[in-house]
Amino acid sequence: MREKRNSLLLSTVPLSRGMPVHIEHRDDTSVTVSLKDKVLEMHTPQDALRRIHEAMHARYTFDRHRVDAPDMVAQLVEDVRLHTCHWPWPAGETPLPIVTEVRAFLLGNINAHAKAIEAGESATTDFPVFFESLRASAVCFGITGKFDLGLGLLQPYLRGFAQKCLALIMAGQTDRQQAADEITSVFFAEEENERPGRPKKSKGNRPVKPVMKIVDLPKTERCSAQESGVRLATSGARIYRPALRRPVLPARLFVRNAPIEPAGTILIDASGSMGSFDFIVEQMQREPGATIAYYNAGSTREGKLFIYAKDGWRANGELPSAGGGNVVDGPALNWLLKQDGPRIFITDRCFSGAYDSEAQIVRLANAEAQGLLTVHDYEDKK
């Protein structure tokens, strides 16, 4: 490493931001050190892309651009903002030697990720792959005005979400916060739920997160199949009478109630596109020992999850409803992932009504790919 006193990178920093020191590294160290919007040091490797990247940080990164999100998500949002909004040259006018070097660097990263995925060391749903894909696409947008590189490693269902995030980050501070929230909900759901002090109300035009109320319905009736669950035993109070008609009496001549085996959890999307509530009763008859819940919503801000059956007992009477919308798919998915397995989610995958519906579709697909739950399409279960 060496200090470059006459570095051209220092000329990119306005005097209002201080007079930083440029330190060049032989390894991959790449960071800009600042304090209260004053730039102190610029550490860069020798490749063109990361030199340009740190120069943009030194010139355009301010505290007011920060978003409320885990560090890696905040870093991704700011990196994408820099490359899409502050690339040093207009689209199509970047000098050819720099374009060639930058593309070679990006392709090297992409190929490394592709090999890791092929070797099973990484997955296309991993945040590092998403991180690098989004940044590569942002760099390409700065150079050409098009997102023509970087999203190819992602699963098709994840590409649409990535393109939405890119558009939000370019749009403005409030939209960048929304992008950060959605990325956090997809890749850092536990961290998001555990972080203290997160605002429950919107700031300015920031979307309001939907609230889900859990309603544990009174369970007054025994599930029919549970009552008939019996097994033959060598002793007991009741005789299995058909066995008396056999020529040789079997050792197992008595009837005993069979123990109720854990049957996991079934969550049912009960929005308008899913059909009638009769389907919920059918599921109870198929899996009488399971915990069965359904959810829906009547507004864009609130929904309810109803626990219909549990431990062999079910609710009686007409099933209540919160409405015909989705809205709380994300909170409902959070609830399901905390329940006993095996977990089954019955849905048509048509989430709608909430600002982060696309993010929740991606979360569901990720959970399914990781084997955390099984998704059954409603049409297949009619």
Supply 218's token pair: 């009174």
The rounded radius of gyration (Å) of the Cα atoms in the chain is: 28
End-to-end CA gap in the chain: 67
Instruction: Give pLDDT tens digits along the chain (382 positions).
Output: 778 777 778 888 888 998 888 998 988 899 999 988 899 999 998 889 999 999 999 999 998 889 999 999 999 999 999 999 999 999 999 999 999 999 999 999 899 999 998 898 888 888 999 999 999 999 999 999 988 778 888 888 889 899 999 999 999 889 999 999 999 989 886 544 444 444 444 455 667 778 999 999 999 888 765 544 556 777 777 787 777 778 777 877 777 766 555 579 999 998 876 666 676 677 666 677 789 999 999 887 889 999 998 888 888 878 888 888 889 999 999 999 999 989 999 988 888 888 888 899 999 998 998 899 999 876 655 5
Cα(172)–Cα(298) distance, integer angstroms:
30
pLDDT of amino acid 225: 53
User: What is the secondary structure of 33-91 as a DSSP string?
Assistant: EEETTEEEEEEE-SSHHHHHHHHHHHHH--GGG--SS-HHHHHHHHHHHHHHH--SS-T
**What's the 3-state SS for 99-138?**
HHHHHHHHHHHHHHHHHHHHCCCCCCCCHHHHHHHHHHHH
d(CA 239, CA 17): 90
Cβ contact 74:66 at 8 Å: yes
Q: Is 143 helix (H, G, I), strand (E, B) or coil?
A: helix
Going by C-alpha positions, the residue among 229, 338, 330, 254 that lies closest to residue 291 is: 338
Please list, in sequence order, all residues whose beta carbon lies within 8 angstroms of the beta carbon of residue 131, skipping any fewer than 6 positions away: 72, 76
The pLDDT score that the predictor gives to residue 274 is 64
Residue 292, classed as helix, strand or coil, is strand
Q: Give the count of beta carbons closer than 10 Å to the beta carbon of residue 26.
A: 9
Measured distance CA(201)–CA(52) in Å, rounded = 38
